Chain A
C-alpha cells in the first residue's frame, strides 16, 4: 500500500506547530497504525531528520498511552479500537491520512503527537479510590456484591484513561472519564462511604484543571475505545445533585 500522511509536528510546548506531508510506499495491510509510524520514523532517522514523537507502550489496547487523532477522529475510524490496534486494512491504497495529537486545553502538546495528560491523575488524586490501607481488609466474602452491580462497575472500570473522550468533546470535557470512575466505585458497596464526598471533590478538580462542561453531545462515548456507556455521565450528575442539592455530602 502507498499512503500519504499529513502529520502534526511541533518541537515543544511553545512552538506553533504545523502539518507536514510524508509518504510511505511500502505499507502492508497487516501493520498496525503505530507500526506504520515506526516504518516512517526509521526512514526519517536514516535521512537525518527528527522522527515523529508519539506515546505508545503496550500496543494491545489496554495501557491507554496511544493518543492520535486520525482524520479528525480520536483513535481513528474503527469503532472501539485504540490506535495501536487499528490496522492498515481499514485504509485504502493511495489514501491521504491526517494525524494530529489530542486537542484540548487541559492536555497541552509536549512534542508532535505527545500530550500532557497529568490532569487525569490529579482528578484521581482528588478521590478516585476507596480509602483503605493495606492490611486492613475484611475477608473478601464478607461483602457479597450483586452480579449486576459488579458487571456495571466493571464496564465503567474498563476505562483506560487515554483521553479520547476529551479529545472528541467540543467542550474539552472529561465527564466520561470522571463518570466512569464514579460509577466504578459508586456501584460497589466498598465505594459507598465516600461516594458523595468523592463526586464533589473530583468534579471540582476536573473543573479547576481546565476541562470544559458537559453538554450531552455524546461524542465522548462514540470515540471511547472501551465503549464506556454514556449513562456514567447521568450517574455523575445524579450523584453530584444528591451530594450538593440533596445534602448527602457530609463533612468531617
Chain B
C-alpha cells in the first residue's frame, strides 16, 4: 500500500470546547478549569520548548504563577527566537480609532480571512484576549508607536477595513519578543525557570500514554540529556523551511513537532501554508533565505506591472496609462490591501502572463512615488525607513527613487499539531502553542495576527488551561532510568550515529534545496492533482537517497552544525510528503491552498463546504506508510460561510 492510499479513521473531537453563547465560552471555560493549589505549583514541573512569543510568554507566565519551569531554545539566547523578525504589527480590537471595530468584528474578519477553516470558539477567544495583550505589553514598557497626544497609534493591514494594528516601526515582533524575553529573564533570575540555551529537543518521552519529558542535545558539547516533567509545551514555531527558501530563520525546523507526531500527536492541515506577497525576489542559486518586506508597505505602496508583454523599459519610463495596477483593478474595494493569499496569487498570475519585472521576470513593482508625493519623503521615511534601508542593502537599489521589486515567498504555516480548545494535543500532557499548533487561522492568516495568537496562547490561554490537566491528573514519578526514557535516548543516539556513518557524496543542504524545489513547484502557490502525485513520487526517492548518500562530517560530541541540519532535513523529508498528501486529498481551494481544479470562472478560489468543511488531522503509522485521516468537523454558528469576496 502506498503512502497516498490513506484511510479515514474516527473523527477527532474537541472535547474541551464549551458550547453556549460564543461571547461567554472563554469565561465559562476559565471558571470550569480545575485549579492547582498555589503551594502545589512549585512541585509541578513543566517543560516549555521554544522561546518565541508563545514559548517565552508561556514560560514567564507559568514561572510567575509558581510552577517549576524548564525552558529550551536552540539559539544562544532566548531573545533570538524568530518572532523577533515579525515586522508589521499586532492586531487588537481596541477600537481606539472609533472606526467601528469590536471583538466581534475581529472575530468575524479572522474567520472569514481564514476562509472558514478555523474553529469559531478559538477565534472568538483570540479576539477577546487581543485587548489584554496590548495592555500587558504596554505595562512591560514596549515602545509602541504613539501619536502626539501620547496615545497609541494604529495602522491598517491586509484583509480588513478598520485600523486595528498596533506597531513599533517595522520591528513590532522584536519589541514584543523583547518584552516576553525580559519577563522570562526576570523569572530565570527569580529561580522559577531553568533555561537551556543551545539545546535542541530531539525526542518526546512518553510514559503510560502521557507526555512526560524530552530528550535534548547540547549543541555545544553534543551531550544528550533527558528532562522529565509533568507536562510538556511545544512552542516550536512553523515548518516553512520545508521549502528551503522562506522568510523563516535558517534554524526554524519541524523536528520537535515531527517527533511528537511520530509518537501519536495528530498533525492538522499540513498543506495550509502562507505565501506572503511582498518579499524580495530570488537573485541566484546561492540564495539561502528570502526577506520579507512588511505587508504594512501595501498601505502606501501601489502594486503594478507593465500592461504590455515584454515591456522592458525602466519603471520611470513607463507612463501612467501603460501600467496595470492589477490589485486595484481586480479588487476595487480592498485594492492593494487584499489578503495575502489573494495578493500572492494575483502576482503569480501576471508573472505567468510574462508581465513580471526584474532580471528573472518573477517580480512585480511596489511603488511609493504617489505616497512620497502625497505625504512627503520624511513622512514615508518615518513610517518605513528601516524597511527601505533593508531593501537597499539587499538589492543595491534605492526604493525612494525606483519602485521596489517584490515576489511572493513562503512565510507562515497555518497547519500544525492538532490541539483542542485547551491547546492540548492528542497526546495527553502535551500542549502546543503559537505557530506550532493549527488552531486559529484556518486556511489563511491575516496580517498582524501571528503575534496576537502567539501572545494570546502564551500569556493568557495556556497558563490557565494547563492547570486543568495538572490538577485533574495523577502523575506518578518517572524514574530517570525508566524503560521509556532509555528507549527515547537510545533512539536519539541511534539516529545520530546513523547520520554520521552514511558518509555519502552529497551535503545536507543539497538535499534540502532539492526538497524545497519539489515543494515549491508542486505544493506552492498553485497545486494540481498531477503535480502533487508527482511530488509524492519524488519525495520518497529523495528521502531514500538522503539516508544512503548524505555526507555529515565530524562527530556527535562537538558543535556540529551539519549534524543539526541533517536531523532537521530528515524530518522535513517526511513532513513534505504529508503536506503533499494533505494538499492532494483536499480537492477544494481555500485560503492559501489553491487547487487549480477548483476555481471560479474569474479565477478565484472555489471552496467546497459540502465536502471539506473540516480540519484534516493526520495520524502517523510509519515512515512512508499510509497515514490515517481524522476529520474534525467545523460548525459555523455565527459567521456563515460565504464565498470570500474582496472586490
Which positions 166-225 of chain A face chain B at CB distance < 8 Å? 184-185, 187-188, 190-191
B286 A28 Cβ-Cβ under 8 A:
yes
Which positions 119-146 of chain A face chain B at CB distance < 8 Å? 120-121, 124-126, 128-141, 143-146
A-B contact count (CB 8 A): 217
Identify A62's interface contact among B57, B84, B152, B396, CB under 8 A: B84
Chain B contacts of A145 at CB under 8 A?
Answer: 146, 150
Which positions 121-136 of chain B face chain A at CB distance < 8 Å? 132, 134-136
A142→B68 CA distance, assembly (Å): 34
B450 to chain A, nearest CB (A): 15
B509 within 8 A of A: yes
**A134-B60, A143-B138 as given contacts; A81 in contact with B79, CB under 8 Å:** no
Identify B188's interface contact among A39, A42, A81, A125, CB under 8 A: A125
Chain A contacts of B61 at CB under 8 A?
Answer: 133-134
A45→B550 CA distance, assembly (Å): 11
Identify B150's interface contact among A12, A89, A120, A144, CB under 8 A: A144
B105 to chain A, nearest CB (A): 19
Hey, what's the 0/1 contact readout for B236-251 against A, CB within 8 Å counting as 1? 0000000000010111
A38 B64 Cβ-Cβ under 8 A:
no
A115 to chain B, nearest CB (A): 9
A94 to chain B, nearest CB (A): 19
A110 B135 Cβ-Cβ under 8 A:
no
A101 within 8 A of B: no
Which positions 70-95 of chain A face chain B at CB distance < 8 Å? 78, 80-81, 85-87, 89
B559 A134 Cβ-Cβ under 8 A:
no
What are 26 A-B pairs at a CB distance below 8 A? A12-B559, A38-B286, A39-B286, A45-B551, A50-B554, A57-B75, A57-B250, A59-B250, A61-B393, A62-B174, A64-B80, A85-B394, A86-B393, A114-B559, A117-B77, A118-B76, A118-B197, A121-B78, A121-B185, A126-B189, A133-B61, A134-B463, A140-B138, A147-B148, A161-B79, A188-B143
A78 B185 Cβ-Cβ under 8 A:
no
Stretch from A149-157, A233-241, A243-251 at the B interface: A149-157
A38→B247 CA distance, assembly (Å): 18
A133 B85 Cβ-Cβ under 8 A:
no
A154 B82 Cβ-Cβ under 8 A:
no
Hey, what's the 0/1 contact readout for B185-227 against A, CB within 8 Å counting as 1? 1101100000101000000000000000000000010000000
B169 A129 Cβ-Cβ under 8 A:
no
A111→B134 CA distance, assembly (Å): 41
Chain A contacts of B412 at CB under 8 A?
Answer: none
Which positions 58-90 of chain B face chain A at CB distance < 8 Å? 60-61, 64, 75-80, 82, 84-85
**A81-B393, A85-B393, A87-B396 as given contacts; A110 in contact with B132, CB under 8 Å:** no
A170 to chain B, nearest CB (A): 25
Identify A58's interface contact among B78, B82, B152, B389, CB under 8 A: B82
A65→B219 CA distance, assembly (Å): 15
A154 B507 Cβ-Cβ under 8 A:
no
Interface size on A, residues (CB 8 A): 80
B620 within 8 A of A: no
Chain A contacts of B291 at CB under 8 A?
Answer: 59-60
A56 B250 Cβ-Cβ under 8 A:
yes
A96 within 8 A of B: no
A30 to chain B, nearest CB (A): 4
B558 A111 Cβ-Cβ under 8 A:
yes
Output the nearest chain B residue to A140 by Cβ-Cβ distance: B138
A34 B459 Cβ-Cβ under 8 A:
no
A44 to chain B, nearest CB (A): 8
Output the nearest chain B residue to A38 by Cβ-Cβ distance: B288
A128 B94 Cβ-Cβ under 8 A:
no
A34 to chain B, nearest CB (A): 7
Interface size class of B (residues with CB under 8 A): 35 or more
Identify B82's interface contact among A31, A57, A64, CB under 8 A: A57
A59 B288 Cβ-Cβ under 8 A:
yes
B185 A132 Cβ-Cβ under 8 A:
no
Which positions 1-56 of chain A face chain B at CB distance < 8 Å? 11-12, 28, 30-32, 34-35, 38-39, 42, 45-46, 48-51, 53, 55-56
A55→B509 CA distance, assembly (Å): 17
Residue numbers of A with Cβ under 8 A of B are: 11-12, 28, 30-32, 34-35, 38-39, 42, 45-46, 48-51, 53, 55-65, 78, 80-81, 85-87, 89, 110-111, 114, 116-118, 120-121, 124-126, 128-141, 143-147, 150-151, 153-154, 157-158, 160-161, 184-185, 187-188, 190-191
Identify A190's interface contact among B139, B188, B507, B558, CB under 8 A: B139
Question: Beyond the given A42-B510, A49-B553, A184-B143, could you list 10 further A-B residue pairs with CB under 8 A, ordered by the A residue number?
Answer: A34-B288, A50-B554, A57-B250, A60-B247, A80-B389, A128-B182, A129-B140, A140-B134, A141-B151, A145-B150
B561 A53 Cβ-Cβ under 8 A:
yes
Which positions 105-158 of chain B face chain A at CB distance < 8 Å? 132, 134-136, 138-141, 143-152
Chain B contacts of A64 at CB under 8 A?
Answer: 79-80
A114→B426 CA distance, assembly (Å): 39
B289 within 8 A of A: yes
Chain A contacts of B136 at CB under 8 A?
Answer: 132, 134-135, 137
B130 to chain A, nearest CB (A): 12
Output the nearest chain B residue to A132 by Cβ-Cβ distance: B139
Hey, what's the 0/1 contact readout for B397-420 against A, CB within 8 Å counting as 1? 000000000000000000000000
Output the nearest chain B residue to A34 by Cβ-Cβ distance: B288
A147 to chain B, nearest CB (A): 5
Identify B182's interface contact among A58, A60, A124, CB under 8 A: A124
Which positions 155-198 of chain B face chain A at CB distance < 8 Å? 168-169, 171, 174-175, 178, 181-183, 185-186, 188-189, 195, 197
